[in-house]
Amino acid sequence: MKVVELITDGACSGNPGPGGWAAVLRFGAHKKEIYGAEPQTTNNRMELRAAVEGLKLLKEPCTVTITTDSEYVRKGITEWIHGWKRNNWRTKDKKPVKNQDLWEALDFQVSRHKAEWKWVKGHADHPDNNRCDELAVFASKTQSNSPL
C-alpha cells in the first residue's frame, strides 16, 4: 500500500457564510494542493469537505495519515459516527446528525483506506496546516476552486 499524508482545513467568513476548504496531499516527493468554495456554508462543513475531497483523489487503497485542526472531524469520524449509524443518524438527544451527507461521504472514503487521524492546533507550527488555512481562506474570499 502507498503511504500518503493528507492535511486538511476549512474556513468560513461568518458561520454560516462564504466558505472554503483545502487539502495538501503528500506521497514521497510529490505534493498536491487542492481547494474549493461554497457560497453559503458553515466552518464544520468546510472542515469535513476538505477531508472528503482529499481522500477522493486517492485512486487506490492507501495507508493515509489525515491531519486536521478540527476536533469535530477527528472525533466525529473516530468516535461519534459509530453511535450515529447505530441510531439511524440520530444524536443521543434523538436529533438528526448535522452534516449527515458529508459524514456519510467521509465514512465511505475512509473505508477505502487504512486511515490514521491526527489533530494539530490550528494556526500553529504545522506548515501544511498553515498552507491549507491560507488556501481555504483564499477560496472562501474569492469563491474559487483549484484546477484539478
Residue 148 is predicted with a pLDDT of: 64
Active-site residues: which are they?
9-10, 47, 69, 123, 133
Residue 50 lies in a domain: yes
Q: Write out the residue range of the structural domain in which residue 72 sits.
A: 2-142
Q: Which long-range contacts (CB under 8 A, 24 or more apart) does 38-43 make?
A: 39/143, 40/16, 41/12, 41/16, 41/17, 42/12, 42/15, 42/16, 43/10, 43/11, 43/12, 43/15, 43/19
Residue 98 is predicted with a pLDDT of: 97
Summarize pLDDT for 93-132 with one digit per residue, the tens: 999 999 999 999 999 999 999 999 999 988 888 999 999 9
Pairing between β-strand 62-68 and β-strand 2-12 as defined by DSSP bridges? parallel
Average pLDDT over residues 134-148: 92
Average pLDDT over residues 13-23: 95
Residues of the chain above pLDDT 90, percent: 93
Residue 121 lies in a domain: yes
Residue 148 lies in a domain: no
74 pLDDT exceeds 80? yes
Residue 147 lies in a domain: no
Q: How many domains does the chain contain in total? A: 1
Residue 112 lies in a domain: yes
Residue 123 is predicted with a pLDDT of: 80
Residue 136 lies in a domain: yes
Residue 130 lies in a domain: yes
Residue 35 is predicted with a pLDDT of: 98
Q: What is the CATH number of the domain that holds 19?
A: 3.30.420.10
